[in-house]
Amino acid sequence: MNDEVLRAADALVAAFGEGRLDDYFAAFAPDATFVFHTTSERLSSTADYRALWDRWVAEDDFRVLSCTSTDRLVQLLGDTAVFTHLVETTVSTTAGAETTHERETIVFRRQAHGHWLAVHEHLSAAPGTTTATATATTTATITETER
């Protein structure tokens, strides 16, 4: 089952990093919750998160350029799995490009048909790093996540 959870996490991270928003948001249950160190409140649904994302795009021309997942761990708890990893993400806004170094926890729940769906995401700045660093140049390549 670890491999199934890792495949679900890989698909979620790849969709995020490649800017495939419909695939990315489809990886979450409608009632998923989100806690980000960059927002002041908990988001109580995937629709709330999508609305916030759309606002970032409208106000700041927000785009994800790349995302790399490392130091991955899956903990199985029956039909629930906790996935933790380190994330390096490069984004572009009207202010330019920046790279963040964060750690993330994604809680997955196995559905009746066996598919793993994300039900909670928590993102925080990685210890010992600044939240974001500006980059002079960026690449749009996606690094395959480690196995």
pLDDT: which is higher, 134 or 68: 68
Check whether 136 has a pLDDT greater than 70.
no
Determine what percent of the chain is predicted with pLDDT higher than 70.
87
Mean pLDDT of the residues in the chain:
89
Q: Average pLDDT of 15-39?
A: 97
User: How far apart, in whole angstroms, are the C-alpha atoms of residue 98 and residue 20?
Assistant: 20
Tokens of 31: 């009632």
Parallel, antiparallel or unpaired: strands 96-110 and 116-125: antiparallel
Task: Tell me what pLDDT residue 129 has.
Answer: 72
Tokens of 29: 């249950």
* Contacting residues for 58 by C-beta, under 8 A, at least 6 apart: none
Q: How many CB atoms neighbour CB 15 within 10 A?
A: 19
pLDDT: which is higher, 118 or 136: 118
Q: How many CB atoms neighbour CB 43 within 10 A?
A: 18
Q: What pTM, to 2 d.p., does this model score?
A: 0.86
